[in-house]
Structures are given as C-alpha cells and as structure tokens.
Amino acid sequence: MASTATATKLSSGHEMPAVGLGVWRMDSAAVRGLIHSALRAGYRHFDCAADYKNEAEVGDALAEAFQTGLVKREDLFITTKLWNSDHGHVVEACKDSLKKLRLDYLDLYLIHFPVATKHTGVGTTGSALGDDGVLDIDTTITLETTWHAMEDLVSMGLVRSIGISNYDIFLTRDCLAYAKIKPAVNQIETHPYFQRDSLVKFCQKHGISVTAHTPLGGSTANTEWFGSVSCLDDPVIKVSITNRDNVSLAEKYGKTPAQLVLRWGLQRNTVVIPPRPPR
C-alpha cells in the first residue's frame, strides 16, 4: 500500500495528527484507563464534544497524564465541539468545555451540527422540543453569526483552529463565502459504505481538511440504531475465501478489517478518529 502522512497541515498553520481517538460513547468510568492506554500506545489526538457528556472525565485523565509526566500538553491535539443549543453562547460554551477539560486552550473547536436549537443552559447540551413535539429550532441565529463568534475565540487565544462538522457542500461553500477565518476542518461521516467523494474533494480543493468521525462505518451505533451491516463484516474486506485467486482484502494484506478500513481513509488524505484504539 502507498505511504500515508502521520499528520496533516491545517490552513491555520497548525498540524493535526492523522489518527486520533474519539471519545463518543465512551463510558465515563472507562475514560481514564482508555485515554492512558491510548497515550502509552502513541495516540496524541483526542476528539471530544460537549454533547458526549464526558469532558470532565477526559479532563481528569489528561491532568493526571500531565502531572505524572506521561505526556506534555504541547504534544497533544485536543478537539471539542459546540453543541446546537449553545450557538448563541459560543464564548461561554467554549470556556465551559475548557474548564471541564482542564485546559487553557483548544487545538480545534468545531460547530457540531449546522443548526441552532433553543438554549437550555451553557454546557447542558439539551435538545428541547416544542409543544408540537418537534425539535425547537432557533430561527433567530444564523450560521454566519455563529461562525463569526467562533472566529472571536481565535483572537481571544482560547482556540488555535476552528472548523465545522456535519456540513454538506452547500453549507461549506456558504461558510467559505462569509468566513474571515476559513474553517480548518470539516468533520463528517465517511467510510467505504458512505464515501462522499464530492464533499471530500470539495473541502480538500478549498484547503479544508476532512476528518472522518465514523471511519469504521459506525458499526456499533449503526447496527444498534438502524440494523445496518458494518463494513467490517463485508466479505470483500473480512471473510477468508479458500479460492486463492479470490481472497479477502484483509487476508491479502495480513491486516484486520479495522486496520484495512482505517488505512483506506488515511490514503484519501482524511484524518480518522476511531472510537477507541483498534485491536
């Protein structure tokens, strides 16, 4: 296979490790052990979010790692995200995440989703419903307003790079049109079963790095929620076939299905953040 970069240079001038650990669905009680194990295994990039509701546990794990000399803060790349209900309170939400993570600055702060919902209190990450049972969307806050507030975080020294998440081509194009600071990253779902070539190529053409937030196909969550088959179980990738002329890719390269799928993502020049260190 072709060689892949170990880090990607962002438009902000900073470098982001090409492989990170996503803490989504990570049980709070397991955070410390998983993060310390990841650090010892060489991980230096951690992807968090206010909505994951474990920023405080991540912060405790990182603080212990710094105190014991396991790693230095300047060696890490820490991402977290603005939740939908805090679009009108960007600075306060960022400071709340920094406090929970026990950090002085973030390497990357993302708008988690391109929608503003009713504010439920900074850091509460609520998804309030209206009287009709439908998500209560705040139509008074534009994505442009939110983005300019994100830009303020950079000038305040709270954040080194800012970006977007779950934006399609049209919303990404609009952001480029009104941005004073171009989004450094667009974090999206992309994997062999959902390749999104047009969006990936558009972002990369315009200097926006792409992070795959479900590089393994979201196997656990998607199976649980939608009953879909994981790409890790695809016979082309996984199953050992006896016919020597028709072997699986995993068998051909002597790798696990997870390693194969992650390498596919890296060779597209996307950053991959699997939910925990692949075995």
Distances (CA, A) of 50 to 9, 55, 124, 167: 25, 6, 8, 18
Burial (CB count within 10 angstroms: exposed 0-12, middle 13-18, buried 19+), residue 115? middle
Catalytic residue among 52, 105, 109, 253, which?
52
State the pLDDT confidence band at 25, using cuts at 50, 70 and 90: confident
pLDDT digits over 104-124, tens only? 999 999 999 999 999 999 989
pTM: 0.90
**How far apart are the C-alpha atoms of 171 and 174, rounded to whole Å?**
5
Run of H or E including 204? helix 197-205
Run of H or E including 199? helix 197-205
Tell which wins on pLDDT, 80 or 126.
80
CATH topology of domain 9-272: TIM Barrel (3.20.20)
**Residue 105 known to be catalytic:** no
**How far apart are the C-alpha atoms of 234 and 254, rounded to whole Å?**
16
The predicted structure's pLDDT at residue 247: 60
- CA dihedral for 207, 161, 265, 216, sign (positive or negative): negative
Average pLDDT along the chain: 89
CA angle 103, 167, 205 (to 5 degrees): 95
Q: Is 112 annotated among the ligand-binding residues?
A: yes
Alpha helices in 209-253 (DSSP H): 219-226, 249-253
The predicted structure's pLDDT at residue 243: 42
How many distinct helices (H) and strands (E) make up the chain?
Answer: 9, 10
pLDDT digits over 138-196, tens only? 999 999 999 999 999 999 999 999 999 999 999 999 999 999 999 999 999 988 888 89
The predicted structure's pLDDT at residue 4: 60
Distances (CA, A) of 180 to 19, 106, 117, 149: 28, 19, 24, 11
Task: Tell me the two tokens of residue 233.
Answer: 């179980």
**How far apart are the C-alpha atoms of 102 and 65, rounded to whole Å?**
12
Q: What amino acid is encoded at 205 in this protein?
A: K
